[in-house]
Amino acid sequence: MSGMSDAKPGRLIAWFVSATAVGCGCDLQSKAWAERTLEGLPSQTMSVVEPWLDLTLAYNRGTAFSVIGDLGSARWIFGVLAVVVVALLVGMLLRWGRDRIDALAMGAVAGGAIGNGVDRVFRGAPGGGTGVVDFLQINYPWGGHWPLFNVADALLAVGVAVLLVRGVLARPGVDAPPTTVAT
């Protein structure tokens, strides 16, 4: 399917909703598993593929990469923002969606946004408040590690990357979303 004429909006929405539900479900279930499994371990860490991959339980009370350390009551804004992102993605899909790859990529982004949004608003963290459960830790061979992340973060990154690559590789006039200039 290369054009919108080939992709029926109802089918695109079905792919989108499926990817969103599966992605969000996997994220929330993996976070619940990480809490149950890692909470009682020394330093809340389990080595999976030594020395490359560890599972380390942490609660991020702020934004991605802890740019803002603690959102406090502003966490509700991020919960609402997750809903806004999903609505925008549905609109983009209906307007520019070409095929199921677009629908799946946008669904991955939506699933990640919802998963982290639910955590920010509802998941209790030790010491009070809420926090996003992060538990995946990729270690560098030279020491140190990539910032902790979770399935939602991976969904967001992969979904955005797929959409960016498809946008760059799109043939103008055939596969690219239409562009309009306000006059």
pLDDT digits (tens, 9 = 90+) for 7-44: 788 999 999 999 999 999 999 999 999 999 999 888 89
The string of DSSP letters for 47-67 reads EEETTTEEEEEEEE-SSGGGS
Catalytic residue among 27, 54, 119, 134: 134
* Residue 99, domain member (yes or no): yes
Reply yes or no on whether 175 is catalytic: no
Reply yes or no on whether 27 is catalytic: no
pLDDT digits (tens, 9 = 90+) for 142-173: 999 999 999 999 999 999 999 999 988 876 65
* Residue 124, domain member (yes or no): yes
* Residue 165, domain member (yes or no): yes
* Residue 182, domain member (yes or no): no
Q: How far apart are CA 162 and CA 144, in angstroms?
A: 28
Residue 146 DSSP class: P
* Residue 178, domain member (yes or no): no
Q: Are 85 and 109 in contact (CB under 8 A)?
A: yes
* Residue 183, domain member (yes or no): no
Supply the range of the domain harboring residue 122: 9-169
* Residue 174, domain member (yes or no): no
* Residue 177, domain member (yes or no): no
pTM, to two decimals: 0.84
**Lowest-confidence pick of 16-25, 44-53, 62-71, 126-135:** 62-71
Q: Which H or E run contains 9?
A: helix 9-38
pLDDT value of position 48: 93
The total number of structural domains that make up the chain = 1
